[in-house]
Chains A and B, each alone.
Chain A
Amino acid sequence: MTKFQVNGKPVELDMDPATPILWAVREQLEMTGTKFGCGIAQCGACTMHLDGKPIRSCSTPLSQAEGKSITTIEGIAPEDGTLSKVQQAWISEQVPQCGYCQSGQIMSATALLKTNPKPSDEQINSAMAGNVCRCGMYGRIRKAIKVAAGIEESSTQETAA
């Protein structure tokens, strides 16, 4: 039995502790926001936070979660129903294309800004280089991180007529 927290709620899972956290969360907890892309820590689609630090959940066994706290894409918005700064910037900059990589991108960006609220381009590169976006939205991701960090103004996207 592995005991840990997911998005602030305690959970207990009775499964092989070698199972990657990704599959435990997707299949057992039925939280499917976190995605599978490569299975070998090469793409970042499966990024979650383990005690606040980004991990590749496809390659991190459940045993490592014991007694710890996991945050997934479903758990990063504030409780009051609004969106986090990073999420808001992802919308204002119209970042996602297919969107499949974006849970992982947002988790990596959120972790970056937590430890480094005003990252340089170089720091953004190194924090985000583990996250592939096959749709190639790197320019928008970079811009959105800067908008969320308050380094740059949002490009004004229209919403209503």
Chain B
Amino acid sequence: MNDTVEVEKPAKKKGKWTRRAFIGAGVAAGGALVVGVAVRPGNPVDSLKDIVAGGQGEELINSWVKIGADNVITAIVPHCEMGQGANSTIAQMLADEMDADWEKVRVMDAPADGNYVSKDALRVFAAPGFKGGETMEPTYDGLFTQISKLAGGYVTGGSSSVRSTGQNGMRIAGAAAKEMLVAAAAAEWSVPAAEITTDKSMLAHAKSGKSEPFAKFAAAAATQELPRAPKLKTSKEYKLMGRPMQRTDIPAKVNGTANFGIDGAPEGQALKYAAVKAAPIVGSRVKSMDAATAKGMPGVLQILNMGDFVAVVADGYWQAQQALNSIKTSYEKTDIDALNSNKMFANFGKALDEAGDDGGDSKASEGDVLGVMEGAAKKVEAEYRVPFLAHATMEPMNCTAWVRDGKCDIWTGTQVPLWARSAAAEGAGVGDDDVTMHSAFLGGGFGRRLEPDYVTQAARVAKATGYPVKLIWSREEDTAHDHYRPADISRFKGGLDKEGKLTSWNNVHCSTDEPAESPLVEFYDIPNVSVRNAEVEWPLKLGAWRSVGHSQHGFFVESFVDEAAHAAGKDPVEFRRELLAKSPRHLNVLNGAAKMAGWGSELPEGHGRGIALVRSFNSIVAEVAEVDMTKGMPRVTKVFCCVDAGFAMNPDGLSAQMESGIVYGLTAALYDEITLKDGAVQQSNFHDYRMMRMDDAPDIAVQIINGAPDNLGGAGEPGLPPAAPALANAIFAASGKRIRELPIAKHFA
């Protein structure tokens, strides 16, 4: 065998394999899907063995699974746990294929080592046009591509964990590991492999009455030839997949022992603490700093002017923050010193005016939009607007760094450990290999922790001071220095024929469309479509915000479909049913949500229902929101959610992700905007960047349809996009007031 391991890939049809390598020569360095590479001598896996197989008597079977002498099976997961529970689900997939004892399955983060790159997740993000089977999104570009390239993989985002790493990696790894164990047992017992059965991490041979734990054959299995086409279970054979197994990370999250980035520290070493304040405007620099008061404050050790930010290092974090607050700074002028949000939106409007009815960058073009519009029986027009949004993860950005002897240690929560490692290396002035990443839970990611700016900062401060430093952003810093969900304006013109059917669709907007499919309406049967994008300049750093472009376009598209339905004099569900005539899965989901909600039944005076349907990350989600308008400010009382994610590997996990996405989406829809004044962000903390709470959160019901067992969709993001339009449409139904600009609270002040 050479270093290129080719593993055959499951074809679309169940149980069939095609002769196709999905990992090439360059990837063989223990790459995530290289089943068995881990054990061959002279292979990079030997170095991995030291990192992963820490315990005594453990044998690393392959890059994905470790079996201990105690028969405990560890799934080595190349994704970070940020709340989505995907790591548990991936382990569930592995364990099922292996016939492992779930009680003895553990999950471990893959170390931030190039050998653990999740190549498959990377492809989901990074290779436009890559055809990896139906579980892959066909095209991803822009921001994600950029991130993936820089990160070299190991990305948690794009709702990709289960459908790519789990489906294409873990299951194959599990099946392969089992076959190798069976082969090893067959050789030892001198019986045919076909007579050996596996269950609960045990191998058994009924005829001879032999039965041994997996661990007994771990070492021997490691020397077996790699199965080239490990046989995967069909959905009927699943024992663990499809069941609501409890998540493995939860017990530590109820007793205070869960280790988050903010809790990380070198063992037995006294930490110092840093508070920081970045220049308020993107690109500006500190011109002068008056730290006279701060110098004399208790506990203060060092005050640093780092050019783009100011830092105070002290014995305690509170001391550092107090001292920082007393420092007076001035900043160099920038090009956007005079910019405010109104001006920015006016610029967007100008760009859209210029694009007109047929200008800008075409994203989709079908039929004769302008001609058909011309002859339409009825025309509908609308302009929608959404603001910048911050992620507001519950755990503010933070990172602990220690730079000494040309080495750097990092404790932090990140969605991109490899990229964070490079960011730390840059800040510390050392090589990537000189950085050790200590992994931790993420107190929320939502896309924010794809950007390791806080890691670079911590490494710079640690290097400048020589201390092991825990750097924590205040909530104010976190809110004002995010990488924001882009603001956007989107304009629509729609044409209805005599029967009230939508025959032309003309849309132009400003945002950068990640993923590229986000503004498209392919699943709706509209014969003439033009979707275009007008280029604008952005005064803030942009980032991937939970569900990315779908968060804007879901609102735009589904609000406009609703307006078209009303213009056509049709019920919004009925109108969508007609549009979905050629999309049976979408139609099922729509009908599912409508049925759950009792669509069409009476509601009390002042209450209303709205529906929206969005397909994102290969999952189809419809939501019906119920709103109570009797108290002035809209109060969402209920949300009914129907989701088809192909197959729910863990139904409770999928449901939790829907609930979470809905609340995240409603929070933004109702309350939040990041605005600019004189080039700087105006919001600072939860009093002016408001969160939904227990007393304004709706009751949520989730129904799952397993509409395509071999075509998995994502979970972390798809619950979000329909929430805002469902609510806005409900407000219209209840009150006749059409919301075309978010946040909603603005219109009810």
Q: Which of B266-288 contact A (CB under 8 A)?
A: 271, 273
- Per-residue CB proximity of B683-712 to A under 8 Å, as 1/0? 001110001111101011000000000000
Number of A-B residue pairs having CB atoms within 8 Å of each other in the complex: 195
Which chain B residues lie closer than 8 Å to A38 at the CB level? Answer: 475, 685-686
Which chain B residues lie closer than 8 Å to A32 at the CB level? Answer: 256, 259, 262-263
Given A36-B472, A37-B475, A131-B694; A161-B250 close (CB under 8 Å): no
Q: Are B691 and A129 in contact (CB under 8 A)?
A: no
Which chain A residues lie closer than 8 Å to B258 at the CB level? Answer: 99
Q: Are A134 and B444 in contact (CB under 8 A)?
A: yes
- Per-residue CB proximity of B437-476 to A under 8 Å, as 1/0? 0000111111000000000000000000000000010110
Which chain A residues lie closer than 8 Å to B472 at the CB level? Answer: 36
Does residue A96 face the partner (Cβ distance < 8 Å to B)? yes
Given A19-B316, A135-B394; A161-B239 close (CB under 8 Å): yes
Q: Are A158 and B244 in contact (CB under 8 A)?
A: yes
Q: Are A97 and B443 in contact (CB under 8 A)?
A: no
Given A23-B318, A38-B685, A42-B685; A98-B83 close (CB under 8 Å): yes
- Per-residue CB proximity of A140-161 to B under 8 Å, as 1/0? 1110000000000000011111
Q: Are A125 and B686 in contact (CB under 8 A)?
A: no
Which chain A residues lie closer than 8 Å to B662 at the CB level? Answer: 136
Given A37-B396, A40-B475, A126-B695; A138-B441 close (CB under 8 Å): no
Q: Are B260 and A96 in contact (CB under 8 A)?
A: no
Which chain A residues lie closer than 8 Å to B83 at the CB level? Answer: 96-99, 135
Q: Which of B639-669 contact A (CB under 8 A)?
A: 652, 656, 659-664, 667
Given A23-B318, A38-B475, A94-B250; A135-B694 close (CB under 8 Å): no
Which chain B residues lie closer than 8 Å to A15 at the CB level? Answer: 316
Q: Are A100 and B260 in contact (CB under 8 A)?
A: yes
Q: Are A27 and B273 in contact (CB under 8 A)?
A: yes
Which chain A residues lie closer than 8 Å to B474 at the CB level? Answer: 39
- Per-residue CB proximity of B71-99 to A under 8 Å, as 1/0? 00000000000111100000000000000
Q: Are A100 and B394 in contact (CB under 8 A)?
A: yes
Q: Are B659 and A91 in contact (CB under 8 A)?
A: no
Q: Are A37 and B694 in contact (CB under 8 A)?
A: no
**A83 CA / B260 CA spacing, docked (Å):** 21
Q: Are B253 and A37 in contact (CB under 8 A)?
A: no
Does residue B245 face the partner (Cβ distance < 8 Å to A)? yes
The smallest beta-carbon distance between A133 and chain B, in angstroms, is 7
Q: Are B686 and A43 in contact (CB under 8 A)?
A: yes
**A43 CA / B239 CA spacing, docked (Å):** 41
Which chain B residues lie closer than 8 Å to A132 at the CB level? Answer: 394, 686, 691, 693
Q: Which of A97-118 contact B (CB under 8 A)?
A: 97-103, 106
**A31 CA / B255 CA spacing, docked (Å):** 11
Q: Are A137 and B659 in contact (CB under 8 A)?
A: yes
Which chain A residues lie closer than 8 Å to B101 at the CB level? Answer: 161
Q: Are B316 and A27 in contact (CB under 8 A)?
A: yes
The smallest beta-carbon distance between B127 and chain A, in angstroms, is 29
**A127 CA / B663 CA spacing, docked (Å):** 19
Does residue B246 face the partner (Cβ distance < 8 Å to A)? yes
Which chain A residues lie closer than 8 Å to B259 at the CB level? Answer: 32
The winner among B85, B442, B443 for most chain A CB atoms within 10 A is B443
Q: Which secondary structure characterizes the binding site on chain A? A: loop
Q: Are A23 and B316 in contact (CB under 8 A)?
A: yes
Does residue A55 face the partner (Cβ distance < 8 Å to B)? no
Does residue B231 face the partner (Cβ distance < 8 Å to A)? no
Does residue A33 face the partner (Cβ distance < 8 Å to B)? yes
Question: Quick one: which of A74, A94, A161 contacts B247, CB cutoff 8 A?
Answer: A94
The winner among B392, B661, B687, B697 for most chain A CB atoms within 10 A is B697
The smallest beta-carbon distance between A119 and chain B, in angstroms, is 12
Does residue B249 face the partner (Cβ distance < 8 Å to A)? yes
Which chain A residues lie closer than 8 Å to B321 at the CB level? Answer: 39
Does residue B103 face the partner (Cβ distance < 8 Å to A)? yes
Q: Are B394 and A101 in contact (CB under 8 A)?
A: yes
Which chain A residues lie closer than 8 Å to B200 at the CB level? Answer: 161
Does residue A139 face the partner (Cβ distance < 8 Å to B)? yes
Which chain A residues lie closer than 8 Å to B208 at the CB level? Answer: none
Does residue A6 face the partner (Cβ distance < 8 Å to B)? no
The winner among A19, A45, A99 for most chain B CB atoms within 10 A is A99
Does residue B22 face the partner (Cβ distance < 8 Å to A)? no
The winner among A74, A100, A125, A159 for most chain B CB atoms within 10 A is A100
Which chain A residues lie closer than 8 Å to B395 at the CB level? Answer: 35, 37, 98, 100
Does residue A4 face the partner (Cβ distance < 8 Å to B)? no
Q: Are A129 and B693 in contact (CB under 8 A)?
A: yes
Q: Are B246 and A27 in contact (CB under 8 A)?
A: no
With A27-B273, A96-B83 known, 10 other A-B pairs at CB within 8 A are A16-B299, A38-B475, A43-B394, A97-B656, A98-B395, A99-B253, A99-B258, A135-B394, A138-B693, A139-B700
Q: What 10 pairs across the A-B complex have the smallest Cβ distances?
A: A33-B256, A136-B663, A100-B443, A98-B83, A99-B253, A97-B83, A73-B256, A138-B697, A42-B686, A125-B695
Task: Point out residues on A near B: beta carbons under 8 Å.
Answer: 15-16, 19-20, 23, 27, 31-40, 42-43, 45, 72-74, 77, 83, 87, 90-91, 94-103, 106, 124-126, 128-142, 157-161
A-B CB contact pairs (8 Å), 5 listed:
A15-B316, A19-B319, A95-B254, A138-B693, A157-B244
